[in-house]
Amino acid sequence: MSQYFEVHPENPQPRLLKQAALLLRSGGVLAVPTDSSYALVCHLDDKNAVDRLRRIRQVDERHHLTLLCADLSEVANYAKVDNQQYRLLKLATPGAFTFILDASKEVPRRVSHPSRKSIGLRVPQHPVIHGLLAAHGEPLLATTLILPGELDPLNDANVICQQLGHDLAGVIDAGACAAAPTTVIDLTPMRTGGAPEILREGAGDWRRLGLWRSCCYQSGRN
């Protein structure tokens, strides 16, 4: 059964976040709150944990997973970012956006898209996930906590425990989230002169980034 951590949404207790980080280091998958919805997270370099995360979501290796980073300085370590892409990232972060970028050599092949060699990255704006990232000491691999066959992410920590308690090492309860997935924007076309592609419209307002709906808008979920 998963461990249950009830933390303050604005001033999370460091002691509890350190305990949760230890579970990640031990190969556990956690359910955590973010500024968009609850997410599943695990240690980037743990193959078994990554496989378990995918099994819970029932997604294969072609489904883009996301790296949660503390700030843009970490993003540059895991993705190839040019000046034009960086300006968009700076406008959008921290916030409820996921950006698809070309993965750097620091990203294990098993977690990048197998054919495109790309990865989702985001810098969330939530005190709890920032505290967990600080306790863990490096980015976390994540995916929105949407159960197989459902359209909307889970938003109640008690419900998450009831439905996934035997699959998770821990659940961090900081109250309800926004219950909306991130807005997903593919920036990889920009490296060859193309326009960003909005793959999913979610909690992040893409209009404030100066993008237009003509930017190759596509329907999709992450």
Instruction: Count each helix (H run) and each strand (E run) in the chain, helices first.
Output: 6, 11
Whole-angstrom distance, CA of residue 56 vs CA of residue 124: 22
Whole-angstrom distance, CA of residue 144 vs CA of residue 180: 9
Which pTM value belongs to this model? 0.89
Residues 6+ positions from 22 with CB-CB distance below 8 Å? none
Q: pLDDT per position in the chain (222 positions), as tens? A: 789 999 999 999 999 999 999 999 999 999 999 988 899 999 998 999 999 999 999 998 878 889 999 999 988 888 999 999 999 999 999 999 999 999 888 887 767 776 678 889 999 999 999 999 999 999 999 999 988 888 888 888 999 999 998 999 999 999 888 777 889 999 999 988 999 999 988 888 888 888 865 455 554 444
| CA torsion, ordered 169, 172, 178, 184, to nearest 10 deg | -40
DSSP state of 179: -
Task: Give strand pairing partners of 27.
Answer: none
Exposed, middle or buried: residue 119 (CB in 10 Å: 0-12, 13-18, 19+)?
buried
